[in-house]
Amino acid sequence: MKWFNHVKQKWGIESNWDFFLINVTFACAGMLIVHERRPIFTLLGVTDQTPMWIKVLIYIPFIFPAYQLNLLIFGTILGQFKFFWEKEKKLAKFLFGGFLRRKDI
């Protein structure tokens, strides 16, 4: 149970119930993106014969953001929006921080 308490502390949550709901949110978002990927790939013309490197290049700008949106949707439904919104802001800062920095004059 040491890992359990460590994760709760790292995520800044105290309730076991919140921990459970956050993990259910991850599970639901992950299961849904598996089903969303197929129509997105079909729409973009990706087939079984498409080389893996092209699939990866398509996956990053289309599937990854859809997964993040799924996290926010399920997080809202399960009452964990604040947790996931904070994580999304940190992720955006990490991914786009170099573009968002202001230069001091």
What are the tokens at 49?
């014969």
**pTM of the entire predicted model:** 0.83
What pLDDT was estimated at residue 100? 62
Is residue 51 assigned to a domain? yes
Instruction: Give the pLDDT means over successive 10-residue stretches in the chain (105 positions).
Output: 88 93 96 93 93 92 93 96 94 79 56
**Does the residue 103 lie in any domain?**
no
Q: The domain containing residue 23 runs over which residues? A: 15-85
Angle at 88 between CA 82 and CA 89, to 5 degrees: 90
Answer yes or no: is 33 within a domain: yes
| Per-residue confidence (pLDDT) for residue 97, from 0 to 100 | 79
For residue 26, give the H/E element and its range: helix 16-43
Does residue 83 contact residue 11 with C-beta atoms inside 8 Å? Answer: yes
> What is residue 21's predicted lDDT score, i.e. its pLDDT?
96
Closest by Cα among 36, 22, 31 to 85: 22
Quote the number of domains for the chain.
1
In a domain, 97, yes or no: no
At residue 24, what is the residue type?
A: V
**Residue 30, in any domain of the structure:** yes
